[in-house]
Structure 1
Amino acid sequence: MSENPLCRVCGGTLREFIDFGRQPLSNRFVTPETLPKETFFRLATGICESCTMVQLMEEVPREEMFNEDYPYVSAGSKVMREHFSAIARRFLETELTGDDPFIVELGSNDGTMLKTIAEAGVRQLGVDPSDGVAQMARDQGVSSLTAFFEKSTAEEVLAAHGHANVIFAANTLCHIPYLDSVFQGIKLLLADDGVFVFEDPYFAEVLRRNSFDQIYDEHYYYFTARSVRELAARYGLELVDVERLPVHGGEVRYTLAHAGARTPSPEIDRLVAEEDELGVASRETLDAFATRVMTVRDDLVRLLRELRDEGRRVVAYGATAKSATVANYCGIGPDLIEFVCDTTPAKQGRLTPGSHIPVRPVEEFHASYPDYALLFAWNHAEEIMAKEQGFRESGGKWILYIPDVGVH
């Protein structure tokens, strides 16, 4: 291992606990023409021995990951559409009830959440660095700024629109290594009685579920209640509430306010106590996690090779960002997986990052059902399995690898 970098939050010492080796950009689906330009990096994760923030050991330049070709859209899942509609309605009923309220969403993507806000006639602004999805938001009547959010962005928004009653981010904050400038911007833009609400994958849940594929290039940080409380305090903010969420394999919604502006919920201390009991920051827990991950890798490769040798057809379902970690860490390529089906047009006709498995429309899955389907999009398992009853009725079986490898 090379000399460890320092914590991007507090400057403390990072201790590496898992290394997934050489990995591609998880959302950079390639063509035969672009294969020679494919970018790789070392995907390893460490924990700060001072503030307990879990983070990647190496940063991938943000411009390489988030640009106009970024293929993920929030509206692609019915579960997520309903999820964002619910939080939008909650904001309208609670935080956005005053005189001419204003909400800003960081990483607003295609405007799925803000669309509900806009339809209610409330001032809103989405900030997203990927102009392709930002334009999709504009097409739905959502105000969108194509930019990376940092202090200078906050200054521009403040001058043009005034303070925000709510700043919201979903599956975005964990993507941003430069939190110093982001939090300076949030502190500046947030109204005195406003709230900054963000939700991201919960590291304690990653450990509990063994969902190691939540670790990929775009997820730079892996939050816990304890580390978020430490983070907030560094910028004159305070963690005032936490809420467990079932989406994306287990997340937490964190609510921050200016220090002293609101009374913290007792749920925070309860969640921190749970984390301590689980030992999320302990060397023993993290080393045990790394061992379980290696077991999943070995078991999954063994199963896929056995099925191939038996002449079984195996495809994968869901060309997700996190599947890049699984495929490349396990060495799963087109020799083991015939193709990956996905509903996202921007991914179809391309090859998966690093592993180079063809991505095809879901209609090809329906046209000739395989014997087995490896469910990369396991966090949408209930929704997908309900939709794909025909596969099960044809005798098909699902392969899952979280928390361990099994055939269902």
Structure 2
Amino acid sequence: MTHTSTCRACGAPLEHVFADLGLSPVSNAFVKREDAARGEMFYPLRAMVCDRCWLVQLAEVTHAETHFHDDYVYFSSFSSSWLDHARRYVEAMIPRFGLGAASRVIEIASNDGYLLQYFVKAGIPCLGVEPSANTAAAARRIGVASCELFFGRDSARLLAEDGGPADLLLGNNVLAHVPDINDFVGGMPLLLKPEGVVTLEFPHLLNLMRHNQFDTLYHEHYSYLSLTALQPIFQRAGLRVFDVEHLTTHGGSLRLYACHRHAAHADSGAAAACLAQEEAAGLTRMQTYAAFGERVRETKRALLEFLVAARRDGKRIAAYGAAAKGNTLLNYCGAGTDFIDYVVDRNPVKQGRLLPGTRIPVLAPDAVFNDRPDYLLILPWNIKDEVMQQMAGIREWGGKFVVPIPMVEVMK
């Protein structure tokens, strides 16, 4: 881990704390049962905000190889709602940008082929760029060509030389995951055709703050993004944002459309509107960021009050979703097996392991119906509707769902 005292985007001194969640393990570093007696590394989880460019970022940074490797546990395809989102994206991009058999689509951080599989089915040549060997292998098994690389200027040049530039270059929920954001964005124009398009999706900092989504802070996320902070980064790379969409995914995301500065794509006006919205919400004023920390602390107190009261009342609690955001929340609150018996997850790679830090065991979803807990705490609150539909059977014995963010809510 390295500590940075300057902004990773503009180089200004980092002096203002946005949220301090104490010490936390790497959120996707699940513990194998045979390693249960071994210790774990805990790292500071503290986000700062730059008062020059307004980029929110972690002050202490773990190396990318700590997160993305051949035992990476996050597979996109285990969320049916995310697959549907990916399919609808492909169905929209093909006609909008006239993509066909002569086009080239490249996805950065393509994971297990969850999205590119739909371009393959449409007969459009595509390539996934994915640093985690096991997810890249899973993509190849479903027919999605994938290379194992971290993206940046050097790898962009290699990809352009090897297969040519892209008509569509996309990255979903990757921009927050890169330690050198200037190198990452700087690689995009090197891999883009003169009239090519970049689309990027990421959770919107504005929604993180409005809806108290502090559990999306974890070591794998180096930055927390607004268009205000990204505009100068794109401008330095010679890219122009010509359209913006507001999405409901991941608690509220932005989808940016960018192109070369002098490309012909018409400006929709949505970028200017988004910048105005962020300014009106206070994202260019330090006091807005300073007020966020107390909301975080109050959420911790409220969740612990619920867990303590439920346990003292003899209630049993299980959790759904061994998600990174859940690991941040549980470790920040200090809620382990003294409160939560187990967590269930559809991903078989996570089943049979223990959550980092709290050491709560991960089981298959059937465990809930065999065990019949009183409460099911939904950790990935961004897919709560999907989870409540899948697990609706808990109502048969009076089981209730609990969502911790933006505030503790019990739902029958």
> TM-score, with normalisation over the residues of structure 1?
0.96
Per-residue deviation at 1:31? 2.4
Structure 2 residue aligned with 1:28: 29
Q: Secondary structure at the match of 1:380?
A: helix
Matched, 1:291 2:294: yes
- Counterpart residue number, 1:9: 9
Trace 1:167-246 onto structure 2 (pairs within 5 A). 167-246=169-248
Amino acid at match of 1:186: M
Task: Give the counterpart letter for 1:224 in structure 2.
Answer: S
Q: CA RMSD in A?
A: 1.5
Residue identity in the other structure for 1:393: E
Distance (Å, rounded) in 1 between the aligned partners of 2:328 and 2:101:
47
Q: Is the 8 A contact 1:16 1:57 kept in 2?
A: no
Q: How far off its partner does 1:96 sit?
A: 4.5
Q: CA deviation at 1:181?
A: 2.1
Cα deviation for residue 275 of structure 1 reads: 0.9
**Any conservation in 2 of the 1:115–1:140 contact (CA below 8 Å)?**
yes
**Preserved contact between residue 377 and residue 401 of structure 2 (Cα < 8 Å):** yes
CA–CA separation in structure 1 for the residues paired with 2:196 and 2:3: 41
Q: Any residues of structure 2 matched to 1:327-366 within 5 Å, and which?
A: 327-366=330-369
SS in 2 for 1:280: coil
- List aligned pairs for 1:51-66, cutoff 5 A: 51-66=53-68
Say whether the 8 Å CA contact 1:96–1:165 is kept in structure 2.
Answer: no
Moved more, 6-15 or 168-177: 6-15
Whichever residue aligns with residue 350 of structure 1, its letter is R
Corresponding residue for residue 389 of structure 1:
392
> What displacement does 1:37 show?
5.1
Deviation at 1:137, TM superposition (A): 0.7
Hey, what does 2:407 align to over in structure 1?
Answer: 404
Match in the other structure for 1:308: 311
Task: Provide the C-alpha distance between the structure 1 equivalents of 2:373 and 2:283, rounded to a whole number of angstroms.
Answer: 39
Whichever residue aligns with residue 111 of structure 1, its letter is: G
Please show how residues 261-272 of structure 1 align to structure 2 within 5 Å: 261=263, 262-272=265-275
| Alpha-carbon separation, structure 2, partners of 1:399 and 1:342 | 16
Distance 1:3 1:354, change over 3 A: closer
* Residues 1:87 and 2:89 are matched in the alignment: yes
CA–CA separation in structure 2 for the residues paired with 1:388 and 1:88: 29
CA drift at 1:3: 8.5
Is residue 182–residue 233 contact of structure 2 (8 Å, CA) maintained in 1? no
C-alpha separation in 1, matches of 2:41 and 2:136: 25
Q: Distance in 2 between matches of 1:228 and 1:77?
A: 28
Cα distance change, pair 147–37 in 1 and its aligned pair in 2 (3 A): farther
Report the Cα distance in structure 2 between the residues aligned to 1:286 and 1:171, rounded to whole angstroms.
23
Secondary structure at the residue paired with 1:112?
A: coil
CA contact (8 A) 1:228 1:239 kept: no
Quote the residue 2:373 is aligned against.
Answer: 370
CA contact (8 A) 1:318 1:375 kept: yes
User: Is 2:378–2:387's contact at 8 Å kept on the other side of the alignment?
Assistant: no
Query: Shift in Å at residue 23 of structure 1?
Result: 0.7
Find the aligned partners of 1:170 and 1:7 in 2 and give their Cα distance: 23
Instruction: Give the partner amino acid of 1:5.
Output: S
Task: Identify the range of structure 1 (191-200 vs 273-282) with the bigger mean alpha-carbon deviation.
Answer: 273-282
- Choose the corresponding residue for 1:380, options 374, 379, 383: 383
In structure 2, the partner of 1:273 is 276
Q: Please, which of 318, 321, 324 is the counterpart of residue 321 of structure 1?
A: 324
Aligned-residue offset at 1:274: 1.2
SS where residue 152 of structure 1 aligns?
A: helix
Counterpart amino acid of residue 62 in structure 1: A
Question: What SS does the aligned partner of 2:147 have?
Answer: strand
SS in 1 for 2:21: strand
The 2-side partners of 1:363 and 1:107 are apart by 31
How far apart are the structure 2 equivalents of 1:140 and 1:296? Answer: 42
| Mapped contact 1:96–1:102 kept (Cα < 8 A) | no
Q: Is the 8 A contact 1:118 1:141 kept in 2?
A: yes
Give ranges in structure 2 of 5+ residues lacking alignment: none
Cα distance in 1 between the residues matched to 2:149 and 2:101 = 28
> Does the 8 Å contact 1:207/1:280 carry over to 2?
no
> Does residue 12 of structure 2 align to residue 18 of structure 1?
no
Q: Distance in 1 between matches of 2:101 and 2:382?
A: 39
How far, CA to CA, are the matches of 2:35 and 2:168 in structure 1? 41
2:120 to 114, 118, 121: 118
Which structure 2 residues correspond to residues 102-117 of structure 1 after superposition, within 5 A?
Answer: 102-117=104-119
Q: CA deviation at 1:38?
A: 2.2
